[in-house]
Amino acid sequence: MRIDLHTHSTASDGTDSPAELTAAAAAAGLDVVAITDHDTTAGWEAAVAALPAGLTLVRGAELSGRWYGTEPTMGLHLLAYLFDPAYEPLVAELARVRLSRERRAEKTVELLNADGIDVTVPEVRGYAAGGTIGRPHLARALVRRRLVGNVDEAFRPEWLGRRYRLPKDDIDVFTAIRLVREAGGVSVLAHPKAEIRGHALPDALIADLAGAGLWGVEADHTDHTEADRARVRALAGDLGLRVTGSSDYHGTNKTVRLGAFTTDPPVYREMADAATGVAPVIGA
């Protein structure tokens, strides 16, 4: 069984439509794939409708979270799986974050314009194509002007990594974990020790999150070094958290391939048993 629990479609900043994503997952030899777009469940329906025979779809999302218990506050990503997409308090938080992403994109365009870079909001919105707008869409505008060679380069400090990086209103991570639980889902902390991205989370925070109902942590991820992965595994063992691995596939917005990292079948089965929001869907 090959299980990839973290992928993005055009419902956020991936480049495969939900239908293309499920087809690509089957072609990559996956048995289980999760769709985890940023702050939205908009891709779920199309993914279910297009599900190839024999492929199991786990419906999820990657929530933009923030830890407010430190100065400066720290952004983080929380994978949420198999939750009820109609649970109003969670729906409201996701809508609020998406709106904040819109405002951030507009302000970032203003900042670029002030430096003589003539990107426009409609162009950036066009790249998002109705999905959750994110920095990879701003990156595409910079690539188009040949200011950078590719999306990855656009995340360097002199571009969207720092110079043109603006904050958005994320969800308090403790609130996020509570809402996901109330919606019948389980939450997994995405790439928690990505030292190279400069946002490794302290062990003490992860312990507090475990106490607040966090279900698992992602260890095998392209942003983690071997040492990062070992630390996550050891910590998960200490805290009684499950360990996942996944590609964080974004189509051509990133170089990583579907199934590059995978999750052990017993962990997936435990997840499917634990969640009560929605069930995994098996392609007929």
Question: Which residues sit at the interface with Fe ion, rule CB under 5 A?
Answer: 62, 77, 190, 248
Stretch that binds ligand AMP, among 22-30, 129-137, 178-186, 257-265 (CB under 6 A): 129-137
Could you tell which of ligand AMP, Zn ion, Fe ion, none binds residue 190, using a CB distance below 5 to 8 A set by kind? Fe ion
Q: Is 13 in the site for ligand AMP (CB under 6 A)?
A: yes
Q: Are 50 and 22 in contact (CB under 8 A)?
A: yes
Q: Is 66 in the site for ligand AMP (CB under 6 A)?
A: no
- Whole-number minimum distance, CB 122 to ligand AMP, in Å? 18
Number of residues that bind ligand AMP (CB under 6 A): 10
Q: Which is nearer to ligand AMP, 8 or 242 (CB)?
A: 8
Q: Which is nearer to Zn ion, 13 or 220 (CB)?
A: 13
Query: Residues 4, 5, 7, 13: which binds Zn ion (CB under 5 A)?
Result: 13
- Whole-number minimum distance, CB 254 to Fe ion, in Å? 9
Mind giving me the DSSP string for the chain? --EE--B--TTTT-SS-HHHHHHHHHHTT-SEEEEEEET--TTHHHHHHTPPTT-EEEEEEEEEEEE-SSSS-EEEEEEEES--TT-HHHHHHHHHHHHHHHHHHHHHHHHHHHTT----HHHHHHHHTTS---HHHHHHHHHHTTSSSSTTGGGSIIIIITTT------EEHHHHHHHHHHTT-EEEE-STT-GGGT-PPPHHHHHHHHHTT--EEEEE-TT--HHHHHHHHHHHHHHT-EEEE---BBTBTSSPPTTSS---HHHHHHHHHH--SS--EE--
Could you tell which of Zn ion, Fe ion, ligand AMP, none binds residue 59, using a CB distance below 5 to 8 A set by kind? none
Q: Are 221 and 241 in contact (CB under 8 A)?
A: no
- Whole-number minimum distance, CB 38 to ligand AMP, in Å? 6
Residue holding tokens 């996701």? 94
Per CB under 6 A, contacts with ligand AMP among 260-279 are: none
Number of residues that bind Zn ion (CB under 5 A): 1
| Closest by Cα among 134, 163, 133 to 148 | 163
Q: Are 241 and 210 in contact (CB under 8 A)?
A: yes
Per CB under 6 A, contacts with ligand AMP among 160-219 are: none
Q: Is 251 in the site for ligand AMP (CB under 6 A)?
A: no
- Whole-number minimum distance, CB 67 to ligand AMP, in Å? 16
Q: Which is nearer to Zn ion, 152 or 264 (CB)?
A: 152
Residue nearest to ligand AMP (CB): 134
Stretch that binds Zn ion, among 5-13, 17-25, 70-78, 154-162 (CB under 5 A): 5-13
Stretch that binds ligand AMP, among 116-124, 148-156, 214-222, 232-240 (CB under 6 A): 148-156
- Whole-number minimum distance, CB 145 to Fe ion, in Å? 26
In three-state secondary structure terms, 24 is helix
Residue ranges that bind Zn ion, judged by CB under 5 A: 13
Residue ranges that bind ligand AMP, judged by CB under 6 A: 13, 38, 134-136, 151-152, 155, 250, 254
